[in-house]
Amino acid sequence: MARVLSEPQRETFARDGFLTIEGFADPAACRALIDRARGIVDDFDPAAVRSVFSTRRQQHTTDDYFLSSGGEIRCFFEEEAFDDTGSLRQDKHLSINKIGHALHDRDPVFDRFSRDPRLAGICADVGMADPRLIQSMYIFKQPRIGGEVVCHQDSTFLYTEPKSCVGLWFALEDATVENGCMWGLPGRHREGLRKRMVRDGRGGVRMETFDPAPFPTEGEVPLEAPAGTLILLHGEAPHRSGANRSDRSRHAYAVHVIDGACDYPADNWLRRPADLPVRGF
Ligand code: FE2
């Protein structure tokens, strides 16, 4: 497999736990994903899911909607999308938090983008023997109501033994401090995994905590990213993103890859249907 990352890039990734590559995706490729996501939301009926926000019993349905999304294309609302009466505050296109979690397998446009041979090369460059695309998300970070994502490690949600998760995060629009770009903690990926989200055996999930200490904020750096930027993220690299209170959206697409040579425990939250096994590039 041809090398994609330079030696200095590989060193930066190993040192910091993340690597920013500007200009990875051209404007037309970014546009194609933005347009396709818009089409998916066009076809999405909010009434079908909106009702699930009103009662506890229906909340459980929401959990099912999330927990069974590993092999599907599903839309999830922003927390602040609804007013007190349960009505959308703004148009549905401005109310969706994300689409997940199998865009890369269920949609041809996302499939093509996600299986770019350069990405296979990058996964090989960072030491993956058998990279497999386990999850994809389209993240809107909507203007004004785009919620913050608290500091976390992606291996918390995509755990393998040994740990192997790598995130491929693409800015489809400019991501800045104002519209909620990611923030990283250089070098902290070497401090171990703090939590793991597991199925609780009763239809829900729970967190297993290995280290209850909060993530530090000291040394945090903003990962501002012009449209087309790829940010490569180590699975144990702590990162977060701020709320978007600006009037500009911050669309991004993320694919997570795990090594097929590692064990994927059966109690991981994300499950794939039997007819859609996890595939590589
Ligand atoms: Fe993340």
Hey, what are 42's tokens? 């066009």
- Compute the distance from residue 240 Cα to the ligand 1 centre, in Å: 7
- Compute the distance from residue 236 Cα to the ligand 1 centre, in Å: 10
- Judged against a pLDDT cut of 70, whether residue 159 lies above it is answered with yes
**191-209 tens-digit pLDDT:** 999 999 999 988 889 999 9
Partners of residue 88 on adjacent β-strands: 82
Give the pLDDT band of residue 79 (cuts 50, 70, 90).
confident
- Compute the distance from residue 152 Cα to the ligand 1 centre, in Å: 6
Higher pLDDT, 120 or 60: 120
- Compute the distance from residue 184 Cα to the ligand 1 centre, in Å: 10
**31-70 tens-digit pLDDT:** 999 999 999 999 998 877 765 444 444 455 558 888 999 9
Mean pLDDT of 5-24: 98
What pLDDT does residue 232 have?
A: 98
- Compute the distance from residue 85 Cα to the ligand 1 centre, in Å: 32
Name the H helices within 175-219: none
Contacts 24+ apart (CB under 8 A), 210-216: 214/151, 215/151, 215/185, 215/188, 216/185, 216/188
- Reported in sequence order, the residue ranges of 90-247 that DSSP labels E, i.e. its strands, are 96-101, 131-139, 149-152, 166-171, 182-184, 195-199, 205-209, 221-223, 230-234, 239-241
What pLDDT does residue 77 have?
A: 87
Mean pLDDT of the chain: 93
- Compute the distance from residue 168 Cα to the ligand 1 centre, in Å: 10
- Compute the distance from residue 206 Cα to the ligand 1 centre, in Å: 18
- Compute the distance from residue 234 Cα to the ligand 1 centre, in Å: 10
Closest CA to 234 of 191, 267, 277: 191
Give the pLDDT band of residue 71 (cuts 50, 70, 90).
very high
